[in-house]
Amino acid sequence: MSQNLRRIVTGHDAHGKSIIELDEGPAKELEANGSGLFEIWLTKGLPASDNQMFRDYIAEEDLALCPPEGAIKVRWFMVPPEDPNASDEDKEAAAAFGFAAIQAEHARVDTSRHPMMHKTKSVDYIIIVKGEVDMLLDQGEAKSLKPGDVVIQRGTNHAWVNHGKEPALLIAVLADAEV
């Protein structure tokens, strides 16, 4: 999947002229069981500076669900179709493994509705790019989402569930937030 993902980062040369600083795939990636995180960019501190020396901070960071304090993280993420034959125990084991791999065991505050439920200390801007996915919250019916839909996830407990036949690709912009 990551071979189809490309990030292009612009900057300035020594004379202040616009140039391409980076043109390549994700800085970091984690794929398992059809799901995946593919890191695009990390902005440390606001307001962001566009005059500083080029530095690919996301490539220097350990893979983690949440952005560092005071930062904004951008990534692609993939939600695979749910396996209707997987047992509840298998789903729980896969969720526990996945969240541990991205330093986010603490984000699983209430998984009673679905094993992928999690809550982050961030405001997330989620854009559905390909496929369809349902957003589960603590209360109410699942909200079906399709390409072009945008969700502003404001630190709520949630899960992304794919009841379709193909993986869904989403983009997330995660801004560190106060709780």
CATH number at residue 115: 2.60.120.10
Q: Which domain does 100 fall in, by range?
A: 27-179
> What tens digit of pLDDT does each residue of 52-102 get?
678 898 999 899 999 999 999 999 999 999 999 999 999 999 999 999 999
| Residue 4 maps to a domain | no
Within-domain flag for 74: yes
**Residue 51 clears pLDDT 80, i.e. is over it:** no
pLDDT at 129 over 90: yes
> Is 84 contained in some domain?
yes
> pLDDT tier at 1 (50, 70, 90 boundaries)?
low
**Does residue 1 sit within a domain?**
no
106, part of any domain: yes
Say if 114 falls within a structural domain.
yes
- Work out how many domains the chain is built from and give that number: 1
**Which of residues 162 and 61 earns the better pLDDT score?**
162
What does the DSSP assignment read for the chain?
-GGG--EEEEEE-TTS-EEEEEEES-SSEEEETTEEEEEEEEEESSS--SSSPP--HHHHSPP-SSPPTTEEEEEEEEEPBP-TT--HHHHHHHHHHHHHHTT-GGG-S--SS-TT-B--SEEEEEEEEES-EEEEESSSPPEEE-TT-EEEEES--EEEEB-SSS-EEEEEEEEE---
**Within a domain: 55:** yes
Q: Is residue 111 part of a domain?
A: yes
Q: What is the mean pLDDT of residues 106-121?
A: 96
pTM of structure: 0.91
Q: For residue 171, what pLDDT is reported?
A: 98
pLDDT band, residue 155 (cuts 50/70/90): very high
